[in-house]
Amino acid sequence: MTNPLYDALYAPLAGQGRGLMYLPGGGVLSADDFHAMVARAAGALVAAGLQPGDRVAVQVPKSAHALALIGGAIARGVVFLPLNTAYTADEISYFIRDAGARLLIADPARADALAPVVRAAGAGLLTLGATGAGSFADAMAAAPAAHPVARAADDLAGLLYTSGTTGRSKGAMLTQDNLLSNAQLLARAWRFGPDDVLLHALPVFHTHGLFVATNTVLLSGGAMILHPGFDLDAVIAALPRATAMMGVPTFYTRLLADPRLTRDLVAHMRLFTSGSAPLLAETHAEFAARTGHAILERYGMTETNMNTSNPYDGDRRPGTVGPPLPGVEVIVTDPETGTELPRGKTGMIEVRGPNVFVGYWNMREKTAEELRANGFFITGDLGRFDDDGYLHIVGRAKDLIISGGYNVYPKEVELLLDDAPGVLESAVVGVPHPDFGEAVLAVIVPADGAAPDAGALETLLQGRIARYKQPKSYEFLPALPRNTMGKVQKADLRARFSRRFTGE
């Protein structure tokens, strides 16, 4: 019997008394204890009636229990569907229905708000809180440990939703081997080993915190300091005990804004990595000057895991995401024809390899549009290779805003705003923001005679979409700039409001 992902990440933890997770309250969870938690989480999923291939949706605060739950799902072949804790009941309803999830495991604090949508979707509801309270935690305590089931490398492990340009989120189907092959690549590329202690402050419902961070450490026998989120004081306090940290650019700009970030503070660190959003070259340079560390920037996405990385040994070049990782093919193509372009030319970035997902859940046409028959995935990112084979990301062909590492698809917000009373039409764009890199800004064209105010629009969006997707500023114009074809010129709007948050 084999279950390749379980066998590589979790089975080896059995019997190891070493510390695996340093918890927020000061406790330490040994590898063996965590292994036992995974087995009990597997048992609780069995007790809830879940079979291999069933989907479990998970919207819980970050904790060791949450990670054990993911491990338990992998052990039992239950496909896990991790969901941003900021998602509203409306958003959760869509995910459960679309995925046909049999069970939602949610924060006890949100159980009342979520119960109606879960019931309407015909799913079950259990709860798991930050400190391991809740009905799922009770089931873990009561259930006998369950053994892992056999899985093949191409069996589904996770279903991760990414928003779509049409406003409908798509579930990216990730196999056991997608996740395992990438963890193996990253552990090797970034030299992770048993002496590593990763400062883990990323959320565990996205690729970055869940796969890049957690899986790489589990695989390589290291440990992690688990923080519930990014808290600057807590991160500064923990840095002297860590060897590595993975972050989004906001982590680094916040650290740089604090005088406590010094060479001495990070003397024990061997690696800082950045991804999920572009790291400004000036942030890279400032961090290097202050700490002596060149942040290692890499490039990935939900559908592909990690594709390229600056080298561990060798030149880590600011403003680039490095060469392709070993075994991952990255090409740049003409966006119109799909023909591969010569080095130096800018075009669509396409990716092929064991890391690339197998398609969007129940969306055959969407899959065919983005995943070519020859295995190349059309990322929607625009880039070029330089003479040394480093990839530069120069823009996005997809209408997407990345704010603090979270993706916001303007269409999803525009559809809601366009429906608001007094709004003729709207355009949502991303503009520079000192903390989040980009922030969401809405441009509203009032209907004749109407004068909607920002407060009313804010109220309308409350409870409909996650807070981080909601515009941080509303601007009013008599008309949207359009080209001769009638297409809204978002570049004009971005330029016009580019200093709204930076105040330069």
Residues lying near ligand AMP in the complex (CB under 6 A) are found at 162, 207, 275-278, 297, 299-302, 321, 379, 381, 393, 396, 402, 407
379 contact choice in ligand MLC, ligand AMP, none (CB below 5 to 8 Å, kind-dependent): ligand AMP
**β-pair type (156-162, 170-175):** antiparallel
Nearer to ligand MLC, 16 or 498 (CB): 498
393 contact choice in ligand AMP, ligand MLC, none (CB below 5 to 8 Å, kind-dependent): ligand AMP
Q: State the minimum distance, in angstroms, from the CB of residue 334 to ligand AMP.
A: 19
CA torsion sign for 46, 52, 57, 59 is positive
The beta strands (E) that lie in 143-211 are given as 156-162, 170-175, 197-200
323 contact choice in ligand MLC, ligand AMP, none (CB below 5 to 8 Å, kind-dependent): none
CA torsion sign for 339, 340, 342, 346 is positive
Nearer to ligand MLC, 61 or 221 (CB): 61
The footprint of ligand MLC on this chain (CB under 6 A) covers a number of residues equal to 22
CA separation for the pair 215, 221 (Å, rounded): 10
CA angle 30, 48, 145 (to 5 degrees): 35
Residue selected from 34, 230, 252, 287 as contacting ligand MLC according to rule CB under 6 A: 230
Return the exposure string of 122-154: e unless at least 16 CB atoms fall within 10 Å of the residue's CB, then b: ebbbbbbbbebebbbbebbeebebbebbebeee
Residue selected from 357, 436, 474, 501 as contacting ligand MLC according to rule CB under 6 A: 436
Instruction: Output Rg (C-alpha) for the chain, integer angstroms.
Output: 23
436 contact choice in ligand MLC, ligand AMP, none (CB below 5 to 8 Å, kind-dependent): ligand MLC
Strand order in the sheet with 170-175: 124-127, 103-106, 55-59, 79-82, 156-162, 170-175
Nearer to ligand MLC, 277 or 443 (CB): 277
Residue selected from 404, 430, 452, 471 as contacting ligand MLC according to rule CB under 6 A: 404
Q: State the minimum distance, in angstroms, from the CB of residue 106 to ligand MLC.
A: 18
321 contact choice in ligand MLC, ligand AMP, none (CB below 5 to 8 Å, kind-dependent): ligand AMP
CA atoms within 13 A on the CB side of 331: 16
Nearer to ligand MLC, 22 or 230 (CB): 230
Q: Based on the shown chain and the rule CB under 6 A, indicate whether residue 278 belongs to the binding site for ligand MLC.
A: no
Residue selected from 171, 222, 275, 324 as contacting ligand MLC according to rule CB under 6 A: 275
381 contact choice in ligand MLC, ligand AMP, none (CB below 5 to 8 Å, kind-dependent): ligand AMP
Q: Which residue is nearest to ligand MLC (CB)?
A: 404
> Which listed range, 192-200, 205-213, 388-396, 477-485, lies at the site for ligand MLC (CB under 6 A)?
205-213
Q: Which two tokens stand for residue 4?
A: 């390749």
Nearer to ligand MLC, 229 or 422 (CB): 229
Binding mask 405-434 for ligand MLC (x = CB under 6 A): xx----------------------------
3-state percent breakdown (helix, strand, coil) of the chain, nearest 5: 30, 25, 40
Strand order in the sheet with 347-352: 329-333, 347-352, 377-385, 391-396
> Which listed range, 184-192, 351-359, 404-412, 491-499, lies at the site for ligand MLC (CB under 6 A)?
404-412
129 contact choice in ligand MLC, ligand AMP, none (CB below 5 to 8 Å, kind-dependent): none
Nearer to ligand MLC, 31 or 201 (CB): 201
CA torsion sign for 222, 227, 230, 236 is negative
Nearer to ligand MLC, 136 or 252 (CB): 252
204 contact choice in ligand MLC, ligand AMP, none (CB below 5 to 8 Å, kind-dependent): none
Asked if 347 and 341 touch (Cβ cutoff 8 Å), the reply is yes
CA angle 418, 420, 422 (to 5 degrees): 100
Q: Which two tokens stand for residue 108?
A: 């006890």
Residue selected from 164, 229, 319, 422 as contacting ligand MLC according to rule CB under 6 A: 229
Asked if 274 and 247 touch (Cβ cutoff 8 Å), the reply is yes
Residue selected from 172, 248, 417, 444 as contacting ligand MLC according to rule CB under 6 A: 248
Q: How many CB atoms lie within 10 A of CB 93?
A: 18
Taking each helix axis as running N to C, give the angle between helix 454-461 and helix 410-418, from 0 to 180 degrees, rounded to the nearest 10. Answer: 110
Per residue, the 3-state secondary structure of 401-423, as one string, reads: EEECCEEECHHHHHHHHHCCCCE
Nearer to ligand AMP, 34 or 299 (CB): 299
Binding site for ligand MLC (CB under 6 A): 202-203, 206-209, 229-230, 248, 250, 275-276, 300-302, 403-406, 436, 467-468
